[in-house]
Structure 1
Amino acid sequence: MLLLKNARVFAPQDMGDVDIFTGGGKVLALGSNITSVPAETKTMDLSGFIVTPGLIDLHVHFAGAGGEGGPIFRAEPLSLSSLLESGITTAVGLLGTDGYARSVMEVLQKAYALEMQGISTYIFTGSYKIPPVTITGDVATDIIAIEKVLGLKAAIADHRSSHPTVEEFIRLASQVRVAGILSGKVGIFHLHVGTYPDPLYIVRETNKRTSIPLYHFLPTHMNRNETVLGEALKFALDGGNVDFTATSDMEHPQACEAIIHLVEAGVPLDRITVSSDAGGSSPLFDAEGHLLDVKITTPEDFLKQFLHLVDLMGPEKAISVFSTNPAQRLGLGKKGKIAVDLDADLLIFDSEWNLKGVIAKGRPIWSKI
């Protein structure tokens, strides 16, 4: 058991200076001057420190990805420390371009390993390719039978995608929806979006033909360029949810700029999330499609963008985008907030918003205090 005393808590709402008592991986009590705790409780005086919910990264290649340019460009699996140093206490793993030499089972096993090391993990089945690669041989069965599988990942509007027809896409979306209904999960169809003209056409057409709700679709990389950002704005104003990528080498706009653009245009903040794409590749192609360079992304920019948004919009809105909103989108009811009976995933910052400690499921697992 752990008692955090006198911390300035953003839950995400500003609660002022309060105490947080945790045990069994949960927040057991939250309030001023908590004193009635078991004798074995460890106490930390956090006067002058800030506590927030842990960050949730819903698109991270923690088992490694990449491969454009050949095997030498295959990214290695991410370490636990690289995630913790970026404030990530919940991570959702997935495959990238390579659904051939890499497998969803690899991602699942890495998820189990990271869970055993202390953080919370989930995965998406599939990769860029269609028909999707899966664990059981069936998309819906993966989602229903495997607790960690939250949905399906595929690629659209990209030269590396399988260029599915609308009919193929509808069948996959239907599988995701039915699996979500049968499993009690949201059922997310997570979409890597490239730079083709009208990149979300297939999503809008599927919604129009089938009435499959827009909340099942979560397009990511929606800040690739100004054109794609314009599509993100239209999709979000129509009721969809969009995810921006935190990598610093992406063409403008950066994630924080994209968020402010959408909010100023009238998009509700709860329709916006940010993810890192860490462990994946960021290939650069010339106008003729020749590969010029490959960079491997890291989790560092995720925390940098969070802190930048803290400066631009304040802690409450930044926490909503990086923790509360992804928890809601993914159906993780015990994550994304600091409240009694929710998971004790907490970040400790000093007064200058330097990350000083990480508590995952009630256990301190990284500290500079």
Structure 2
Amino acid sequence: MLVIQNAEVFSPAPLGKLDILVGGAKILAMEPHIDPAVLPGETEVLDARGMLLVPGFIDGHQHFTGGGGEGGFQTRVPELTISMNFSNGVTTAVGLLGTDSLTRSIENLYAKTQAFNAEGMTAFMLTGAYWHPSPTLTGSVARDMVFLQPVIGVKLALADSRGPHIDAKDLAALASDVQVAALVANKPGIITVHTGIRTQGLDLIFEIVEQFEIRASIFVPTHINRKGGKLTSQALALAEKGCVVDATCSQAPLEPDSPRLTAADFACMARDNGLLGQVSFSSDAGGSMPIWNQDRSRIIGMGVGMPSSLLFELDLLVNKKGVPLEQALMPLTTTPARIYGLENSKGALRVGMDADLLTIDPASFEIRDVVALGSVAVRNKIVEKKGYFEHGSDTSIHA
């Protein structure tokens, strides 16, 4: 068993200073004081004095097997490692494919998802990719969802020249397939929508919600934090209809002329409209961040999404935007837990929940310790729980 002592606990709601008892991957008790000496068996103590204790981050958009490839084979991004996630506070993640579903496959993604689960992180995946009909493992999106345990939905691209050119009937049919499969398999059943820069934005989603009476909440539009009128207005309007809209996190401050908003800026906008609870944050970890020439015909540079962007945006939201920590944590904890059907096990600290939690130094706003499913994964910024082929590598957290 593990006792975490003297922490200032945010569940995300502020609970004050508490000790937490962990055993069998679960939170067993949360009390003002827990004495390890009276507990049966061997008990490890983690002193979190002066630390904030918060739920582990849930990242709903990661390219487990790497993304990229738009600039040639040499630009294929390598696979993520479990230490990349643990060192940045991610204890639960959802993997998906990106632009390249030619040299990457659903089979590879399934294997990597199960590898992460075997290594001690909670991992799920989406079938599909940019295209429609969606690439699948079993031959259909619905069968993937029903018969493959980690598959909780499908990915699709809209408003992107690299994505499919589908009509309302195609999208409505896909949504119906996902809804039925979700009922049969008792899964959340979501369609994560990569939102490109083309002028139609999310028009097609509005069309099928109105014409076919498809529930809006099945869709999770992502990459929606861009400057300018239409997409922002559409994202907020869909949030009012029950969608959770997903903001892609930045790794550093954006230039004034950037077409993007930080996830923190978008969250503040949603908060001003009473919609903060409908916003999630994700890192796009492992995804390529292409730099295009002026007419977007050729890639002239390539960046890579990293899980560290989640903490950067949380820091920005709390320490620059002045949003209370209990609210700022929502896009990383309770909201993604709700849309991924995990609200009874993830995203909050209470007795009976999975023991996924982080300690954060309030002065530096750096992650010090990470517990994933009851095991210490990071201790004093040193990753202890590594991937199968990572042992011997330097996996410390560098400031």
Interval of TM-score (by shorter of Structure 1 and Structure 2): over 0.9
Indicate the residue corresponding to 1:304 in structure 2.
312
SS at match of 1:336: coil
Deviations 1:120-155 (A, max 9, x none): 100000000111001111100111111111100010
Alpha-carbon distance between aligned partners in 1 of 2:328 and 2:32, rounded to the nearest angstrom: 25
Does the aligned pair in 2 maintain the 1:237–1:267 contact within 8 Å? no
Shift of 1:38: 1.8
Give the structure 2 partner of residue 5 of structure 1: 5
CA distance in 2, matches of 1:363, 1:251: 41
What pairs with 1:244-259 in structure 2 (closer than 5 Å)? Answer: 244-248=247-251, 251-259=259-267
User: Are residues 1:18 and 2:18 paired?
Assistant: yes
- Which deviates further from its counterpart, 311-320 or 233-242? 233-242
* Alignment-mate amino acid for residue 238 of structure 1: K
C-alpha distance after superposition, 1:271-317 (max 9, x if no partner): 11010001011123345331233222222212111222222312101
Per mean C-alpha deviation after superposition, the further-off stretch among 54-63 and 39-48 is: 39-48
The equivalent of 1:41 in structure 2 is 43
Task: Indicate which of 298, 302, 325 corresponds to 2:335.
Answer: 325
TM-score under structure 2 length normalisation: 0.89
Match of 1:216 among 200, 209, 218: 218
Match 1:161 to one of 160, 163, 174: 163
Q: Secondary structure at the match of 2:192?
A: strand
CA offset at residue 226 of structure 1? 2.3
Distance 1:269 1:178 in 2: 29
Point out the more displaced range, 203-212 or 246-255. Answer: 246-255
Tell me whether 1:230 sits opposite 2:233 in the alignment: yes
Aligned residue for 1:313, secondary structure, equals coil
Distance in 1 of aligned mates of 2:241 and 2:46: 46
2:245 paired residue number: 242
Render the CA deviation track for 1:188-230: whole Å, top value 9, x for unaligned: 0110001112311111111112222111100000013324223
Whole-angstrom distance in 2 between the partners of 1:287 and 1:168: 33
Which residue of structure 1 aligns with residue 389 of structure 2? none
Structure 1 residue 151 corresponds to structure 2 residue 153: yes
Letter in 2 for 1:334: S
> What is the CA–CA distance in structure 2 between the aligned matches of 1:10 and 1:165, rounded to whole Å?
45
Cα pair 1:195 1:224 within 8 Å, conserved: no
Query: Residue 333 of structure 2 aligns to a residue in which SS?
Result: helix
Residue 285 of structure 2: which of 269, 278, 287 is its match?
278
Q: Distance in 2 between matches of 1:44 and 1:236?
A: 40
Aligned equivalents of 1:71 and 1:336: distance in 2?
38
What CA distance in whole angstroms lies between the structure 2 residues aligned with 1:28 and 1:221?
38
- Is this contact kept in 2: 1:226–1:253, CA < 8 A? no
Question: Partners of 1:297 and 1:82 in 2: how far apart?
Answer: 11
Please state whether the residue corresponding to 2:181 is helix, strand or coil. helix
Q: Partner of 1:125 in structure 2?
A: 127
Aligned partner of 1:174: which letter? S
Residue 136 of structure 1 corresponds to 138
Structure 1 vs Structure 2 CA RMSD? 1.5
Secondary structure of the corresponding residue to residue 124 of structure 2: strand
Once residues 8 and 354 of structure 1 are traced to their aligned partners in structure 2, the CA distance between those partners, rounded to angstroms, is 15
Shift of 1:43: 1.6
Give me the whole-angstrom Cα distance separating, in 2, the residues matched to 1:320 and 1:52.
11
The structural deviation recorded for 1:365 is 0.9
TM-score by length of 1: 0.96
C-alpha distance in 2, partners of 1:253/1:44? 38
On the 8 A contact 1:177/1:212 being kept in 2, the answer is no
